[in-house]
Amino acid sequence: MEDSPRVKSYHRAHRVLAVTEFLLDLSVLLVFLFTGWTISLRAWSEHLSGRPAIALLIYLLLLGSITWTLGLPLDLIEGFRLEHRFGLSNLSLTGWLKDHLKGIAVGGTLGALGLEFLYWTMRRWPESWWIISGGAFVGFFILLVNLAPVLFLPIFFKFKPLENASLAQRLMDLAHRAGTNVKGVFEWKLSEKTKKVNAALVGLGNTRRIILSDTLLEKFREDEIEAVLAHEFGHHVRRHIMQGIALRVAATFLGFYLVNLVLLRLDRFFRFRGLADFANLPLLILVGTTLSLMLLPAVNARSRAMERQADAYALRAIPSKAAFVASMEKLAELNLAERYPHPWIEFIFHSHPSIEKRIAFAEKFQA
């Protein structure tokens, strides 16, 4: 069987745009490296300020402005026009731009802080910077996961405690059976932006909570919502969060170690002034991107295995697997999910098994 032409067209367009955006970003980085523009940009930044941290910030603002301006048309097509074309977006152009600028502000601020710290450690501890930075970045990532529900998500979305008391209690009971504490169940005002449905278990420790999109609450029965959340609790029971953090720790330290090797090897070739010369930032990004691409199939394969384990837990935790199958059917329909992706597309790019494989697994599953 095949997906409908509408679904195939939607995902084909997303993949074409994603590849185009990747090639554009890659081209900009390579041009800055091999033309020496990155050195000129660094020199001009240092001319404006002799303080390394301020000069780096100027460099980041200039480089970021260039890449953002070049990439904006593709972002607009993918994030706004494509979603409207397929009837999935509820945002006006003004609303989309507002969210886009919020994302740039939040992501840019966090990115700038991270790079300021990175180059500070390079100046201070040139031989061991990658170990110190790796540890700090891992700790910062865990802190962000903890703060996301209370600090970052409210910047983009509205939340309120779930008014359906019986559903809230049903999900809290599910959490209790899974052995995890949640701080409440919240309605997520996703309909202001999209017609898609979603639900999640977000946060760590004292910020962990269940969030249910209002689109999900409108379209799904209570037993179907329970099935969706049972899957999320399956990740907790199987300790996937800790495994994910462990994988991120390994990837972070490996990435920083490889960056250190490459920057030292190619320092003279590109006429940099050593590790702490922030003109090498395009090369640093290229190394990280290359590593991410090399690890992507393995990371996604592991993720699909985790998703299958979480599905198995969900099927044991709910009264009937019919609710799980119904929830998958609705997710596929409302989110325009690919039910039958090409095997190579699924192997390389998909972090979840296809919807059709998840349904087949559920139908054959014996608790």
The pLDDT of residue 366: 81
Quick one: average pLDDT of 97-118?
Answer: 96
Distances, alpha carbon 57 to alpha carbons 3, 5, 65, 275, 281, in Å: 47, 47, 12, 17, 12
For residue 307, is pLDDT > 80?
yes
The residue among 94, 77, 96 whose CA lies nearest residue 85 is 77
Amino acid residing at 354:
S
Nearest to 306 by CA among 228, 239, 210, 357: 239
Cβ–Cβ < 8 Å for 332, 358: no
The 10s digit of each residue's pLDDT in 261-270 is: 999 999 999 9
Provide the residue ranges of all domains of the chain, joining segments of one domain with +.
Answer: 5-158+236-364
Q: What totals of helices (H) and strands (E) does the chain contain, helices first?
A: 15, 4
Q: What is the pLDDT of residue 294?
A: 94
Q: How far apart are the first and last CA of the chain?
A: 28
Burial 175-184 (b: 16+ CB within 10 A, else e): beebebebee
Cα–Cα dist 98/121, whole Å: 35
Two tokens, residue 237: 């029971």
- Region 14-41 average pLDDT: 96
pLDDT of residue 281 exceeding 70:
yes
pLDDT single digits (tens) 343-355: 999 999 999 999 9
Answer for the pair 80, 96: CB distance below 8 angstroms, yes or no: yes
Mean pLDDT over residues 43-56, rounded? 95
The chain-wide mean pLDDT, for the chain, equals: 95
Q: What angle do CA 153, 155, 161 make, to 5 degrees?
A: 55
- How far apart, in whole angstroms, are the C-alpha atoms of residue 272 and residue 42? 10
Residue 183 DSSP class: S
DSSP run (H or E) holding 180: none
Nearest one of 260, 235, 230, 259 to 245, comparing CA atoms? 235
- The predicted pLDDT at position 224 comes to 97
Neighbours of 228 (CB within 10 A): 24
pTM beyond cutoff 0.85: yes
Dump pLDDT digits (tens) for 21-32.
999 999 999 999
Per-residue confidence (pLDDT) for residue 367, from 0 to 100 = 67
CB 272 within 8 A of CB 279: yes
Cα dihedral 274, 277, 278, 280, rounded to 10, equals: -40
pLDDT higher than 80, residue 121: yes
pLDDT at 317 over 70: yes
pLDDT band at 2 (very low <50, low <70, confident <90, very high): confident
* Per-residue pLDDT band at 239 (split at 50, 70, 90): very high
Q: Could you tell me the maximum CA-CA distance found in the chain, to the nearest angstrom?
A: 69
What residues have CB less than 8 Å from 245, skipping those under 6 apart? Answer: 138, 141, 142
Q: How confident is the model at residue 1 (pLDDT cuts 50, 70, 90)?
A: confident
What angle, rounded to 10 degrees, do the helices at 240-266 and 129-147 form?
A: 140
Residues 181 and 175: beta-carbon distance below 8 Å = yes
CA 336/CA 211 separation, integer angstroms: 21
Q: Give the phi and the psi of residue 8 in degrees, each rounded to 5.
A: -60, -40
* Contact (Cβ atoms closer than 8 angstroms) between residue 209 and residue 182: yes
Going edge to edge, which strands form the sheet with 159-161? 159-161, 185-188, 209-213, 199-202
| Poorest-pLDDT segment among 90-94, 215-219, 241-245, 252-256 | 241-245
